[in-house]
Structure 1
Amino acid sequence: MDRIAVIGDYDSIYGFGALGLDLFPVSTDDPEAAATLRQLASEESRYGIIYITEELAASLKDVVDKYARQPLPAIIPIPGVKNNTGVGVEMVKHSVEQSVGSDILFGKD
């Protein structure tokens, strides 16, 4: 697991190509989006980190949740250029709560 993938709409992910990350442009209405994510998450693909746009993560919640219980690959939501849902912030908040046993953002609206 030594590769990093970015999956989401092209406009949101194309800049990551300049960093040498592998790009997988799909849209939320693409019937193959879930299959693409499953393929990237498979052990054979060797992706240790998969960045996914928030909009796509929200539309593929069941698939993302399946891999959230596994140590690898790490599936990390990132904001896209549109339709951000806040799921990335919520996932980080949840992870911190699990780690430290407390809501560190309590009262910070």
Structure 2
Amino acid sequence: MYKIAVMGAYDSIYGFASLGLDIHPVSDIQEGEEELRRLASGDYAVIYITEALAAQIPHEIARYREQVLPAIIQIPGVSGNTGAGITGVKKSVEQAVGSDILFGND
């Protein structure tokens, strides 16, 4: 059975544990890269990653962009929403559907 993980700064992700998700706090770029590789090679179908951490390791996330699993989805952290998560989901939908389903509503 596949699992769901959340990774990023502890303050941004600790609440997800109450929802039954596996939390993986990371404190620096190297730890983030290593943890993402470990989770992606495991039983995780969905990996939520804070926008702040994703901005630090875009090359590592790109390694999994063309793969079916895991789905790596950016979420806002305690510092707020940068819009990167919404942009990423929009691009994925455009690629899958072949069109901008929001008709330019950025």
- Distance across 2 between alignment mates of 1:94 and 1:54: 16
Q: CA RMSD in A?
A: 1.6
The correspondence for 2:63, drawn from 57, 63, 66, is: 66
Aligned length: 106
The answer to whether 1:90 aligns with 2:87 is yes
CA distance in 2, matches of 1:98, 1:30: 28
- TM-score normalized by the length of structure 2: 0.88
Q: 1:31 to 1:100 in 2, by over 3 A?
A: closer
Instruction: Indicate conservation of the 8 Å contact 2:29/2:53, yes or no.
Output: no
Q: C-alpha separation between the residues in 2 aligned to 1:30 and 1:90?
A: 22
Distance 1:65 1:17, change over 3 A: same
Equivalent position of 2:54 in the other structure:
57
Offset of 1:75 from its aligned partner?
0.8
* Cα shift at 1:108: 2.7
Unaligned runs of 5+ in 2: none
Helix, strand or coil at the partner of 1:4: strand
Over the matched positions of the two proteins, sequence identity in percent amounts to: 61
Post-superposition shift, 1:47? 1.0
Question: Contact between 2:29 and 2:56, CA under 8 Å: does it hold in 1?
Answer: no
Specify the alignment match of 1:40 in structure 2: 39
Mapped to 2, the partners of 1:13 and 1:88 lie a distance apart of 15
